[in-house]
Amino acid sequence: MSSALYSKAVELAGQGKSFAVATVVRVEGSSSAKLGSKAIIDSRGKILAGWVGGGCAESAVRNEALKCLELERPELITLDLTDELLGVGMPCGGKMDVYIEPVLPPPELLIVGHGRIAEVLATIGRLMNFSVTVNDPGADRESFPNANLLVNEDFDLTETPIGPRTFVVIATLHKRDHLWLQKALEGNAAYVALIASRHRARLVLDYLLATGMPAEKVEKVWAPAGLDLGAATPEEIALSIISQIVALRRGSSKPLPLKDSGMATEGTAADKVIHQCETDGL
């Protein structure tokens, strides 16, 4: 890859932008692109630098790059440049394989609240390569040494934007949890979890429904949060939540969430721990 392409890739990565790198890894017959040709494609499908072929191949590579960025996984595609009907649109001659690799900023883990569960979530989240933000007036660097960002003043909830690559865990233990849920759902967060006892969670979700939040959105809230690990301590509860986030992000459908398991009942060890945290304000 030329220095110009390296510079563009470094620039985009430094700005936290998503892009894809397409590389020609095999050429058969006639092709305008050569083995090793590369291009950088941005999140809108525009080629910012490099070259992987002319009109015959460019459109196909751009479209596949967008798919790779959406699915967050690389793809090896074969472009048939000889077939006008079944190939990429023009009989240019030859075939080539193009490896497309998405380059994405780390996903965001937004933890709203403080306390032991939140502290462990931040630690494990950073180990899982999330960009960790903690939003709470009581959050400090001593308690959250692994957080990328601490937000202590956010009265109108504008300091922490939420989008499709944000994983939101609300651990406010009563304090404005309904407002954060509304914001996370309206921002189409990738994951929304409420750490609360089943009694508290029921009250909050019923309130959202009563205020007009569509039922299909409210159903996206994981409450109780986490997988059924039989968690009985704040540390284990945090582990079960991070495990669920990783499972959902990687497309796994096998782990059984507490929301759907027989463990999702009042009186379990995890529910007692959370209820005690609510009572103690931890």
The Cα 78–Cα 102 span in angstroms is 17
Does 277 have pLDDT greater than 70?
A: no
Does 214 have pLDDT greater than 90?
A: yes
Q: What distance separates the 2 farthest-apart alpha carbons in the chain?
A: 72
Fold of 108-280: Rossmann fold (3.40.50)
What pLDDT shows up at residue 43? 92
- 3-class SS letters over 23-76: EEEEEECCCCCCCCCEEEEECCCCEEEECCCCHHHHHHHHHHHHHHHHHCCCEE
Does 263 have pLDDT greater than 80?
A: no
The segment(s) of the chain belonging to CATH 3.40.50.720 are: 108-280
Cα of 72 vs its chain's centroid, Å: 10
The Cα 73–Cα 263 span in angstroms is 34
Q: What are the CA-CA distances from residue 10 to residues 18, 47, 103, 114 (Å)? A: 12, 16, 11, 35
What pLDDT shows up at residue 275? 58
The Cα 124–Cα 11 span in angstroms is 29
Does 33 have pLDDT greater than 90?
A: no
pLDDT band at 190 (very low <50, low <70, confident <90, very high): very high
Does 183 have pLDDT greater than 90?
A: yes
Does 251 have pLDDT greater than 60?
A: yes
The Cα 275–Cα 51 span in angstroms is 59
What pLDDT shows up at residue 85? 42
pLDDT digits (tens, 9 = 90+) for 90-142: 455 678 899 999 999 999 999 999 999 999 999 999 999 999 999 999 999 99
Kindly report the CA angle at 117 between 231 and 217, in degrees rounded to 5?
Answer: 85
pLDDT digits (tens, 9 = 90+) for 46-88: 999 998 887 768 888 999 999 999 888 999 999 887 755 444 5
| Residue matched to tokens 């180990």 | 127
Produce one character per residue of 24-63: b if its CB has 16 or more CB atoms within 10 Å, e if not. beebeeebbbeeebbbbbbbeeebebbbbbeebbbebbbe
Does 259 have pLDDT greater than 50?
A: yes
Residues 221-235 have a mean pLDDT of 90
Asked if 168 and 162 count as a contact pair (C-beta separation under 8 A), the reply is yes
pTM: 0.76
